C-alpha cells in the first residue's frame, strides 16, 4: 500500500514546482519498482548520492521484472505542499509527512488538511503513471466525537468529509476514466489512532466507550455516519 497524496508546489516558481516533484518521488520510489519491475533512474541517482549500494544476486533483476503488481492500493488523507525555500519547509502540525500548510485548505482538529479534490487529482496522477487498476484502501477523518447520554454521536462533519471525497472519487471514475477497483474507509470502528496513539482521535462509524485514561465500558454504539454509510454501500455510492 502506498501512502499517497499529491504534492503541490507552494507557488508557481519553477523551484517550488521541482520541490513538489522531488516530494512525490520520495513517495513513489518503492511502488515504481513494484509496478515497473525496475529501479527508476531518479531512484538510482538518489541512492548514488547517498552512497547506497544495492547488493544484487544473479537473477534478482529478472525477478523484479517478471513479478510486478497487478494493481495499486493506496491510502489518502491529505495532499501535501512543497517549497524550495528551506525556511518554509517545516512539518505542519498533525501530518505524518513533512509538508507546508496549504493556505487554501481547511484542517482537521489534528491539523490534517482536508482536500477532497486532492483525491481526484491523486487518482488521476497514479492512473496516468502506472496504467494499472487502483484501490483506495484508507480514507477517513480523525475527530473528537462527543456522544450524548445514550452514547450516540451525530457526526455530520464525518459524513460531510466522506461525502465530498466519494464525490471526487466518482468524478475520477466517471469523468476521467480512472480504473478504480474499490474503496474502503479508515476505520469502521473507533480504535487507537496509529498516528497519535490516542482513543480520542476517532475515525469510526461506531463509537467505542473507551477513553485515553483507560476508563469506559467498551460499549459499541453506531454513530449517525454508520446509518449514512449503510445507504452509501447499498446504493454503490449513488445515495450520498
Which residue segment(s) compose the domain that 221 sits in?
2-234
Phi-psi map region of 128: left, alpha, beta (phi>0 left; psi -120 to 50 alpha): alpha
pLDDT (tens digit, 9 = 90+) per residue, 45-54?
A: 999 999 999 9
Nearest to 25 by CA among 44, 10, 11: 44
Give the H/E segment covering residue 220.
strand 220-222
Instruction: Tell me how many domains the chain contains.
Output: 1
User: For position 133, which CATH number holds?
Assistant: 3.20.20.80
Whether the Cβ atoms of residue 235 and residue 221 lie closer than 8 Å to each other: no
Q: What is the DSSP string of 171-208?
A: HHHHTT---EEEE--S-SB----TTT--SSSB--SEEE
* CA–CA distance, 218 with 95 (Å, rounded to integer): 29
Residues in Cβ contact with 192 at an 8 Å cutoff, skipping those fewer than 6 apart: 198, 199
In a domain, 104, yes or no: yes
How much is the pTM?
Answer: 0.94
Q: Which residue in this structure is represented by grid cell 505524518?
A: 96
The pLDDT of residue 90 = 60
The pLDDT of residue 99 = 85
Cα 87 to chain centroid, rounded? 26
The pLDDT of residue 70 = 98
The pLDDT of residue 88 = 76
In a domain, 239, yes or no: no
pLDDT (tens digit, 9 = 90+) per residue, 3-60?
A: 999 999 999 999 999 999 999 999 999 999 999 999 999 999 999 999 999 999 999 9
The pLDDT of residue 94 = 53
Give the H/E segment covering residue 134.
strand 134-138
In a domain, 201, yes or no: yes
The pLDDT of residue 87 = 77
The pLDDT of residue 86 = 80
Nine-digit cell string for 207: 463509537
Walking along the chain (240 residues) 10 residues at a time, the average pLDDT comes out as 94 96 95 97 96 94 97 96 81 67 92 96 98 97 95 97 98 98 95 89 96 95 98 94
**Angle subtended by helix axes 116-130 and 14-36, to nearest 10:** 60
In a domain, 240, yes or no: no
Amino acid at each position: 500500500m502506498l501512502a499517497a497524496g499529491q504534492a503541490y508546489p507552494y507557488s508557481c516558481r519553477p523551484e517550488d514546482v521541482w520541490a513538489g516533484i522531488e516530494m512525490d518521488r520520495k513517495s513513489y520510489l518503492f511502488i515504481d519498482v513494484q509496478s515497473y519491475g525496475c529501479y527508476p533512474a531518479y531512484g538510482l541517482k538518489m541512492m548514488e548520492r547517498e552512497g547506497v549500494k544495492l547488493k544484487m544476486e544473479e537473477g534478482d533483476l529478472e525477478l523484479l521484472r517478471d513479478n510486478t503488481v497487478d494493481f495499486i492500493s493506496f491510502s489518502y488523507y491529505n495532499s501535501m505542499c512543497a517549497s524550495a525555500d528551506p525556511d518554509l519547509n517545516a512539518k505542519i502540525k498533525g501530518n505524518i509527512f513533512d509538508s507546508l500548510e496549504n493556505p487554501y485548505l481547511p484542517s482537521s482538529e489534528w491539523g490534517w488538511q482536508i482536500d477532497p479534490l486532492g483525491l481526484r487529482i491523486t487518482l488521476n496522477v497514479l492512473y496516468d503513471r502506472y496504467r494499472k487498476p487502483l484501490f483506495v484502501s484508507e480514507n477517513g477523518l480523525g475527530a473528537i466525537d462527543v456522544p450524548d447520554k445514550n452514547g450516540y454521536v451525530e457526526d455530520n462533519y464525518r459524513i460531510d468529509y466522506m461525502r465530498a471525497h466519494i464525490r471526487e472519487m466518482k468524478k475520477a471514475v466517471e469523468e476521467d476514466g480512472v480504473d478504480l477497483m474499490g474503496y474502503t474507509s479508515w476505520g469502521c470502528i473507533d480504535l487507537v489512532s496509529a498516528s497519535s496513539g490516542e482513543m480520542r482521535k476517532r475515525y469510526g462509524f461506531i463509537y467505542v466507550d473507551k477513553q485515553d485514561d483507560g476508563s469506559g465500558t467498551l460499549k459499541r454504539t453506531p454513530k449517525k455516519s454508520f446509518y449514512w454509510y449503510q445507504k452509501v454501500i447499498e446504493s454503490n455510492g449513488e445515495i450520498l
